[in-house]
Chain A
Amino acid sequence: MNQRQQKLGSDRRAVIAAAVLMGLALAVVVKLLEFQVLKHDYYAERGRRQHLRDVRLPALRGEVLARDSHPLAISIRTESAVVNPQQIRDPEFFARVVAPALGKKPEELSGPLISKKQAGGPGASFHIVARHLTKEQRERLVPLQRTFPIHILPDARRDYPSGVTGAHVVGAIDAEGDGNAGVEQKLNEELKGRDGLIQVLAGSRQDRFITWTKRDSLPGVNVTLAIDRVIQHSAERFLREGIEQAGAESGTVVVLDPRNGEILALANYPTFDPRRERPTPAEAAARHTNIAVQIPCEPGSVMKMITVTMGIDSGLFRPETPIYCENGAFPRPGRRAIHDVHRYGTLDVSGVLIKSSNIGVAKISLAAGPQRLYEYLKRFGIGDRTGVELPAESRGILRPQACRDSRDRNCWTPASHEYIAFGHEVSATAVQLARAVAVIANGGLLVQPHLVIAKSRPTPDGREVPLPVEIAPPKRVLRPETAITMRRIMERVVLEGTGKAAAIPGYSAGGKTGSAEIFEDGRWLNRHNSSFIGFAPVANPRIVVVVTLNRTPKLGGVSAAPVFRKVAETALRVLHVPMDRPETLPEVRAPQPKPEKPPVLLASAEKPAPPQEPPATPALVGPRVPDFRGRPLVAVLREAASLGLPVETLGRGVAREQSPPPGTVLAPGMRVQVRFGLTP
């Protein structure tokens, strides 16, 4: 009995043990089922992530080059030391040992490390100990890697060798390596290339076993700009001087090649230093404010250039067509009167631009009508973006001419075209103005202002593959003869009118001054946006220069024109443009022939002729013709060349007759005719 009971008990225990074992086995099977079937993908992914890691291999950022291939921005591969603060047991000890190797103070290292170690979280497992290690620093750090978990990672440093020069054009990059101003920002995707990937097979302790390249890095595109370093530097210097002398707050200078739209210089003030990784608040503000393309302002009288061009190109006016300028005040019923700075009686169309008469251009606009003025403004690119390769370009302000309905306030009023004619109710950036002047300078073509003239991508074998640069072709918007006529008139603005301070020794120049008084908080500030737009030389312009000084108490002819002269003179010399005028400006003022009695025109036709001021005698600027008579051909040519006189020779032998006679001041565009004879 006892034996039987014992046997039964033994069997029961065996059954229980077997059941327990079966249960355990079942649990294992269930868990295995969960691991292998139900959550297979999840655990497989976790395992893969634990052992396979992707390490980013940063691509080298492309270079930004000046037109002479000198680097304006260039990347250099460096190395940086990083640590995981959570892996450092004693940050203070770490700092005491590592800081001397990096030439730092221990507290500089320990402070951030302790704070990150205590804070925890995802962002607290990465700390840059030192960026861009020098060779000596690296040599001192490598032995310390045996003691501390210091990782030396590849990095890149962005150098700006020209410093402040061209800062607003080139721009800068942020700590992440992305552009945050200038071309660096606008062409960021092209410049930064594509990062490579290295895949690492690591153990459970993250020891690297095998490393292989998953994807090669693609280096960034090298970009060549049209910027000339010398012109750019001069523009920045002269702009700064001009702003200091004029008491302005800010300003900009744009130098453009009117033949193809290449921007040779673009300077802003205030500016910034792109090399500074931690800029001051003022510099940070300047970094993100590119006045030349982002801040439109009322152009003022420079807009008269477009109005007068419209008048001549449309055939309504000729340069000599007289316009009665109302002796300084042009009252109209129901509207505010338009005033001139000086009182003018009758001026011809050229005189309207030369003397910068608001009333004169308002009458031209009245005669042409708002539709035509709007059309010509659009032809000159006002109100449209230029497409220059700089970020956040403004389109300026040009409201639609036609209203959608009676409640539409964002359109022209019945008087708008009278004010827009002399640069009010409209805004344009300096680059837009440069494009508009280029239309006159290049004979009537609207070009696309652009900075990039070439792109290329470096290949692994050291070559460079050129990439296409897309630039819109020039578009004809003006008849060539109108452009040439306007050039002559604008040359007289510099010689006789408001832009005398813009005259360049040795070169002919044309331009227009502008001064728009600032209206702010319901009152006039007695501060101006003073500007000067111009080109040189007149016969075949090589440069267009736009100078804008903001919030200056001085007018454009006094403050901006001298800056134009300095910048243009430097640019013409740098570009090796031959002189077409004597270097010394003559002081002789020849009397101008008295104009015939002009017919009365336009709104004042029925009015009696008001008392007119005596016509001003414009300065006839040019070299005095020497006496060539009795001299041989070679001597005549040599002296003419030294004086910059265009000479036309007839016959051979010795000079017998000349026209004009000796002592005459040669007007621009005229030439000396010399007849030679063999017999006395």
Chain B
Amino acid sequence: MTGLEALLDWFAAGREAVEESDRSAVLDARLRALPREEIFLYVKPIDNTQVRCVARRAEWAPGAVTAAVFLVAALCIITAIVPSTTILAINHRIESLKEQKAFELNELRRLRSEKAELSSAEKLEQYAGERFIAPPAKAMVYAPPAKSTVASLGAR
């Protein structure tokens, strides 16, 4: 095979060979290889009155029908399944979101409770007492003398 033409010839030869083999398989008195001998022709009358013309379908028709059937079936199945599946998935999503919302709301309540507890007057007073109100050292406390106290040098 030296070129495209040769390849096509090769394909054509193959096809001819196939057709030849098909023809040979058919028991036919009309078509056969003629030997190099004398030919005697016998004529047989053929009654064509009984012959009917049968229309030949295109080769692609069965495949197309099959494909169409499959397509329609697939569409039907998809039409039937997809919406319900989608709804199912959405419902599941909604339910999970609801559950998450309930959980988050519960967490919010818990945190509000904790916050209220931490900011309660009792706690704030406790923090203030612990951190900011330290009792003064004894040395820092100055006790003023009583009014009745009179300065006197007699004791010295």
* Per-position binary interface string of chain B over residues 106-140, scored 1 when its CB falls under 8 Å from any chain A CB and 0 otherwise: 10011011111101111001000000000000000
User: Are A159 and B113 within 8 A (Cβ)?
Assistant: yes
* Residue A582 at the chain B interface, CB threshold 8 Å: no
* Per-position binary interface string of chain A over residues 229-257, scored 1 when its CB falls under 8 Å from any chain B CB and 0 otherwise: 11011100000000000000000000000
- Set of chain B residues within 8 Å of A162, measured between Cβ atoms: 116-117, 120-122
- Set of chain A residues within 8 Å of B113, measured between Cβ atoms: 71, 74, 76, 159, 161
User: Are B106 and A230 within 8 A (Cβ)?
Assistant: no
A76 touching B122 in the complex, CB below 8 Å, given contacts A71-B113, A161-B113: no
- Set of chain A residues within 8 Å of B116, measured between Cβ atoms: 70-72, 74, 161-162
Most chain B Cβ neighbours within 10 Å, of A159, A161, A163, A165: A161
Neighbour of B119 across the interface among A70, A72, A234, A462, CB < 8 A: A70
- Set of chain B residues within 8 Å of A159, measured between Cβ atoms: 113, 117
A233 touching B106 in the complex, CB below 8 Å, given contacts A71-B116, A162-B116: no
User: Are A230 and B121 within 8 A (Cβ)?
Assistant: yes
A233 touching B114 in the complex, CB below 8 Å, given contacts A74-B109, A76-B106, A77-B106: no
* Residue A164 at the chain B interface, CB threshold 8 Å: yes
* Residue A75 at the chain B interface, CB threshold 8 Å: yes
Which residue on B lies nearest to A78, using beta carbons?
B106
Give the distance to chain B from A162, nearest Cβ to Cβ, in Å.
Answer: 5
User: Are B112 and A163 within 8 A (Cβ)?
Assistant: no
User: Are B125 and A233 within 8 A (Cβ)?
Assistant: yes
- Set of chain B residues within 8 Å of A234, measured between Cβ atoms: 121
A76 to B112, CA, bound (A): 10
Give the distance to chain B from A128, nearest Cβ to Cβ, in Å.
Answer: 21
Which residue on A lies nearest to B101, using beta carbons?
A462
- Set of chain A residues within 8 Å of B121, measured between Cβ atoms: 162, 165, 229-230, 232-234
Give the distance to chain B from A60, nearest Cβ to Cβ, in Å.
Answer: 9
A234 to B120, CA, bound (A): 12
Which residue on A lies nearest to B114, using beta carbons?
A161
Neighbour of A76 across the interface among B101, B110, B115, B119, CB < 8 A: B110
Query: Among residues 88 to 118 in chain B, which have CB atoms less than 8 Å away from a CB atom of chain A?
Result: 101-102, 105-106, 109-110, 112-117
Query: Among residues 61 to 77 in chain A, which have CB atoms less than 8 Å away from a CB atom of chain B?
Result: 70-72, 74-77
Give the distance to chain A from B61, nearest Cβ to Cβ, in Å.
Answer: 51
User: Are A76 and B109 within 8 A (Cβ)?
Assistant: yes
User: How many residue pairs between the two chains, A and B, have CB atoms under 8 Å in the bound complex?
Assistant: 48
Interface residues on A, range: 10 to 19
Most chain A Cβ neighbours within 10 Å, of B105, B110, B114, B116: B116
- Set of chain B residues within 8 Å of A74, measured between Cβ atoms: 109, 112-113, 116
User: Are B106 and A163 within 8 A (Cβ)?
Assistant: no
A489 to B135, CA, bound (A): 42
Give the distance to chain B from A424, nearest Cβ to Cβ, in Å.
Answer: 38
User: Are A75 and B109 within 8 A (Cβ)?
Assistant: yes
Which residue on A lies nearest to B105, using beta carbons?
A462
User: Are B117 and A161 within 8 A (Cβ)?
Assistant: yes
- Set of chain A residues within 8 Å of B109, measured between Cβ atoms: 74-76
* Per-position binary interface string of chain A over residues 445-472, scored 1 when its CB falls under 8 Å from any chain B CB and 0 otherwise: 0000000000000000010000000000
User: Are A165 and B122 within 8 A (Cβ)?
Assistant: yes
A124 to B126, CA, bound (A): 46
Query: Among residues 159 to 184 in chain A, which have CB atoms less than 8 Å away from a CB atom of chain B?
Result: 159, 161-165
- Set of chain B residues within 8 Å of A75, measured between Cβ atoms: 109
User: Are A163 and B120 within 8 A (Cβ)?
Assistant: yes
A165 to B120, CA, bound (A): 9
* Per-position binary interface string of chain A over residues 143-166, scored 1 when its CB falls under 8 Å from any chain B CB and 0 otherwise: 000000000000000010111110
- Set of chain B residues within 8 Å of A161, measured between Cβ atoms: 113-117, 120
A645 to B117, CA, bound (A): 42
A159 to B116, CA, bound (A): 10
- Set of chain B residues within 8 Å of A229, measured between Cβ atoms: 120-121
A223 to B3, CA, bound (A): 96
- Set of chain A residues within 8 Å of B110, measured between Cβ atoms: 76
User: Are B112 and A233 within 8 A (Cβ)?
Assistant: no
- Set of chain B residues within 8 Å of A70, measured between Cβ atoms: 116, 119
Give the distance to chain A from B136, nearest Cβ to Cβ, in Å.
Answer: 21
A371 to B16, CA, bound (A): 138
A164 to B123, CA, bound (A): 11
- Set of chain B residues within 8 Å of A72, measured between Cβ atoms: 116
* Per-position binary interface string of chain B over residues 10-24, scored 1 when its CB falls under 8 Å from any chain A CB and 0 otherwise: 000000000000000
Give the distance to chain A from B133, nearest Cβ to Cβ, in Å.
Answer: 15
User: Are B106 and A164 within 8 A (Cβ)?
Assistant: no
Give the distance to chain A from B95, nearest Cβ to Cβ, in Å.
Answer: 12
A162 to B116, CA, bound (A): 7
- Set of chain A residues within 8 Å of B112, measured between Cβ atoms: 71, 74
- Set of chain B residues within 8 Å of A71, measured between Cβ atoms: 112-113, 116
Which residue on B lies nearest to A71, using beta carbons?
B116
User: Are B122 and A164 within 8 A (Cβ)?
Assistant: yes
Which residue on B lies nearest to A159, using beta carbons?
B113
Query: Among residues 599 to 624 in chain A, which have CB atoms less than 8 Å away from a CB atom of chain B?
Result: none
A255 to B105, CA, bound (A): 35
A selection of 26 A-B contacts at a CB cut-off of 8 Å is A70-B119, A71-B112, A71-B116, A74-B109, A74-B113, A74-B116, A75-B109, A76-B109, A76-B110, A76-B113, A159-B113, A159-B117, A161-B114, A161-B115, A161-B116, A161-B120, A162-B116, A162-B121, A163-B117, A229-B120, A229-B121, A230-B121, A232-B121, A233-B122, A233-B125, A462-B105
Smallest CB-CB A-B distances: 10 pairs: A233-B121, A161-B116, A161-B117, A159-B113, A162-B120, A77-B106, A70-B116, A71-B116, A74-B113, A161-B113
Chain A residues in the interface with B (C-beta under 8 A): 70-72, 74-77, 159, 161-165, 229-230, 232-234, 462
